[in-house]
Amino acid sequence: MTSPSTDEPVPASRAEALELDARDPLAPLREQFELPEGIVYLDGNSLGVLPKAAPARLARVLRQEWGAQLIRSWNAAGWLDLPARVGDKIARLIGAGPGEVVAADSTSVNLYKVLSAAAGLQRSDAPERRVVVSERTNFPTDLYVAASLCRERDWRLELVETADLPARLARGDDVAILLLTHVNYRTGWMHDLAGMTAAAHECGALAIWDLAHSAGAVPVDLRETGADFAVGCGYKYLNGGPGAPAFVWAAPRHAAHARQPLSGWMGHAAPFRFAPEYEPADGVARFLCGTPPVLSMAALECGVDTVLAAEPLGGMKALRARSLRLTGAFTALVDRHAAAWALRVVSPREPERRGSQVCLVHDAPGGHGYAIVQALIARGVVGDFRAGEPGPPPCPDILRFGFSPLYTRFVDVWDAVERLAVVMASREYERERFRRRAAVT
């Protein structure tokens, strides 16, 4: 059976789901991970799972590199090269070249760097442009950092509805920077990266992309699309571990002269010369700042390697096809019960607009989204809940399910919907123990 809209296969039984998995050439990639027994983990878009290689790697970094070799390991164990080496590996996943990406700091800190760099470029080229345009539903921390940059420079951050972005850019004489997250963290909506970049450039703005929910999940071709800067997250689909370092990319045409203000010694042209004057490194290394957190970096490298392991099997293109089949099947299976459960799929159905997640809204009076997610977790299906925001247009409470093409299986899709069926049929989410709203889900 296939989904009517997309020709994606939809299992009609658990046996069929198992058969789809058995036939899948990407299925062995799951063996790279340590996964808890009996759990259907659909939250890899929040925290990716543990690569089997990570504990041994960390033990080696701790006992041999740090414990025994100590300070020598900066050279002998390649600690100094980690930001560039891991960056080069990430580059292969996002359509960037070697030497164009570094792993460093957090997504938020990196966003501040590239926003500052882009603002600096615009200040000299087009000082009259003082607006940063972003999306109202963009990830809040991106908006906080952009707002902060604007506050400092007496610029303005303008938040636009997704559908209104093209029109806003069409009258964009005042726009300095377009800042978007490629795949929206709430809705799963995926922007046309090339098209929106072109629209930004057409109006004279620079385009900055947050790839937090893209890297390792959907193909990105930064060079091809002509984007200006990008940042992304190491601990979601890259499986780099909790709070893993993030990454930053600068288009080669900007990397050699764009300046960012976090001018720490690791971004210096010659860090160990200890010169009193800052001289930024050639290329993207100038987006480094302080000493890299080696333990977290080593785990991130293990995580990135799990995605690179797909290269002989077709790489990001093959992973993307699998991701679409998984989200398509989940969508189709939920659709069948949508009316009975009052659950509505709100993530995009068109493959070209869909990230690697499916989002549901509970349309019953009051909405029991939080309680349903809790009841599912109690039954071993881990998704998450994102509270809505009041105000028009409505931004409802969301039940969010992430699908990692590296380890999520068709049988997980099947089991998740089966358990959702139990939760919805029994209305167990109405029980008191599921109804408390915690600050953190």
The one catalytic residue among 21, 105, 210, 384: 210
Piece in contact with a second copy (CB under 8 A), picked from 31-39, 169-177, 318-326, 417-425? 31-39
Whole-angstrom distance between the N-terminal and C-terminal Cα of the chain?
Answer: 35
Tokens of 425: 């049929």
Q: Which of 158, 166, 174, 263 binds a second copy (CB under 8 A)?
A: 263
Q: Are 129 and 176 in contact (CB under 8 A)?
A: yes
Residue of 24, 40, 79, 371 that binds a second copy (CB under 8 A): 79
Query: Has 210 been annotated as catalytic?
Result: yes
Please report whether residue 147 would count as binding a second copy according to CB under 8 A.
yes
| Cα torsion angle, 398, 45, 7, 219, sign | positive
Q: How far apart are CA 359 and CA 17, in angstroms?
A: 21
Distance CA 88, CA 90 (A): 5
- What's the closest the beta carbon of residue 438 comes to a second copy, in angstroms? 8
Minimum CB separation of residue 350 from a second copy in Å reads 26
* Minimal distance, residue 23 CB to a second copy, in Å: 28
**46 touches a second copy (CB under 8 A):** yes
Q: How many residues bind a second copy (CB under 8 A)?
A: 85
Only one residue has tokens 């604007």, namely: 150
- Adjacent-strand bridge partners of 210: 181, 231
Among residues 119, 115, 138, 228, which one has the least CA distance to residue 176? 119
Structure token pair of residue 377: 């977790």
| Residue 230 burial class via C-beta count within 10 angstroms: exposed 0-12, middle 13-18, buried 19 and up | buried
Q: Which is nearer to a second copy, 341 or 385 (CB)?
A: 385
User: Which of 28, 78, 98, 140: binder of a second copy (CB under 8 A)?
Assistant: 140
Residue range at the interface with a second copy (CB under 8 A); choices 171-179, 222-230, 294-302, 319-327: 294-302
Active site residue 236: yes
- Min CB(239)–a second copy separation in Å: 10
By CB under 8 A, tell whether 162 contacts a second copy: no
Task: Note if 139 is an active site residue.
Answer: yes
Q: Which residues pair with 104 in a beta bridge?
A: 246
Q: Is 412 a catalytic residue?
A: no
Binding region for a second copy (CB under 8 A) out of 3-11, 59-67, 89-97, 199-207? 59-67
- What string marks each residue from 402 to 441 as x (binds a second copy by CB under 8 A) or -? ------------------------------------xxxx
Confirm or reject binding of residue 129 to a second copy (CB under 8 A): no
Residue 275 or 422 having the CB closest to a second copy: 275
Q: Binding mask 352-391 vs a second copy (x if CB under 8 A, - otherwise)?
A: ------------------------------x-x-xx-x--
Which position among 30, 129, 400, 409 bears the catalytic label? 400
- Residues carrying an active site annotation: 139, 210, 235-236, 400
